[in-house]
Amino acid sequence: MAEVLVVVEASPSGVKKVTLEMLTLARSLGLGDVAAVVLGGEGAAAGVVDKLGEYGAAKVYAAESAELTEYLVAPKATVLANLITQVSPAAVLLPSSQEGKEIAGRVAVKLDNGLLTDVVAVEADGTATQVVFAGSTIVKSKVTKGLPIVTVRPNSLTPAPSPVTPVVEPVAVSVEKRDLLAKIVERKVEAKGARPELAEASVVVSGGRGVGSADNFKLVEELADLLGGAVGASRAAVDSGFYPHQFQVGQTGKTVSPQLYVALGISGAIQHRAGMQTSKTIVAVNKDAEAPIFELADFGVVGDLFKVVPQAAEEIRKR
Ligand code: FAD
């Protein structure tokens, strides 16, 4: 029986949540065993095997070589394309991250195969659901040539464990000369604060232009910390210099899907919604009762955030 391959995305702190979501999705397809593919440096698989097994990866293909970390994505695409040719999987899932999409695109070209990106659901027959045009349109599509190669949007589903003990199978890394044309010369890892990672947080408190200044964002941070959440920002807040770009939520920022999303002084433009509209519960504070964010919010407070947020914080502190 063919396998479903899941390309692992990990950070120095471990396997990313999107990987666990993909493993869960891969199992739900019922097409065959789920196999994870680690494309990293020497020893990369050892640190993640247990976690991958916990979420149902019966096999872990370990492609480990300095070339996979020292160069841009081209070597990873070559190794993955070779593996696909070798094992003929039923489907391949990659994260819809910048890197995941680039690897997927290159693999699809190498194999002359169809490709679907930004997918939020896949059915056993390969029919995928895609969210397009800033989240305003849902499309069902299918690869018509080759196997389904699909990039999965983070936070599309809830990861569910299904423990197995994975077999680790080393994969020969054989890259082409043209894969080594661009080398990474410096890598800066942002200092990790005490807050959870934005894309993976179960609570996100975001501020918009209505927050008014970088200094006022302390109010947003304070509420986020009380709720154990991450801080997000609208593009207007980022463009105004109130908060760094890495925290932007929306079409040109991060996609989040927390249990609770709190929007403070955010109007609710379609491009912002694109990054947060699948949040389970949305709370908005806006002084304009006509703000479009209220069409989306489960709970809305029409009022001045500088009055509402301190009161909410005070109540939370009492509990
Ligand atoms: P505004 O629209 O100015 O809204 C500020 C809100 O704050 C208003 O509703 C106001 O009533 C309220 N307010 C003001 N003062 C207070 C107060 N004291 N108390 C309570 N409420 C108050 N935007 C994103 O966010 N993310 C993206 O990724 C993104 N990508 C884009 C991509 C493209 C191609 C384009 C064209 C646009 C994109 N945008 C994106 C921009 C988007 O169109 C909006 O301009 C932006 O989201 C507006 O941000 P905002 O809601 O913070 O600001």
Nearest residue by C-alpha to atom 3 in ligand 1 = 209
Ligand 1 atom nearest residue 285's Cα:
20
Please give the pLDDT value at position 248. Answer: 97
- Taking the C-alpha atoms of residue 85 and residue 104, their distance in angstroms, rounded to an integer, is 14
Q: pLDDT tens-digit profile of 267-278?
A: 999 999 999 998
Among the ranges given (71-85, 119-133, 160-174), the one the predictor scored with the smallest mean pLDDT: 119-133
Distance 194 CA to ligand 1 centre (A): 27
Beta strands in 162-264 (DSSP E): 167-170, 203-207, 230-233, 260-264
- Mean pLDDT over all residues of the chain? 94
Distance 234 CA to ligand 1 centre (A): 6
- Taking the C-alpha atoms of residue 160 and residue 21, their distance in angstroms, rounded to an integer, is 8
Q: Could you tell me if the CB of 276 is within 6 A of ligand 1? A: no
Structure tokens at 52: 């991958």
Nearest residue by C-alpha to atom 8 in ligand 1 = 267
Q: Could you tell me if the CB of 306 is within 6 A of ligand 1? A: yes
Q: How many residues does the chain have?
A: 319
Can you tell me the mean pLDDT for 175-196? Answer: 86
Distance 248 CA to ligand 1 centre (A): 11
For residue 281, what is the enclosing H or E element?
strand 281-286
Report whether 82 belongs to an annotated binding site.
no
Q: pLDDT tens-digit profile of 206-223?
A: 999 999 999 999 999 999
193 has pLDDT over 80: no
Q: Could you tell me if the CB of 248 is within 6 A of ligand 1? A: yes
Give the model's confidence band at 192: pLDDT under 50 very low, under 70 low, under 90 confident, else very high. Answer: low
Please give the pLDDT value at position 194. Answer: 82
Distance 233 CA to ligand 1 centre (A): 9
Cβ partners under 8 Å of residue 169, min gap 6: 59, 60, 61, 62
Q: pLDDT tens-digit profile of 30-78?
A: 999 999 999 999 999 999 999 999 999 999 999 999 999 999 999 999 9
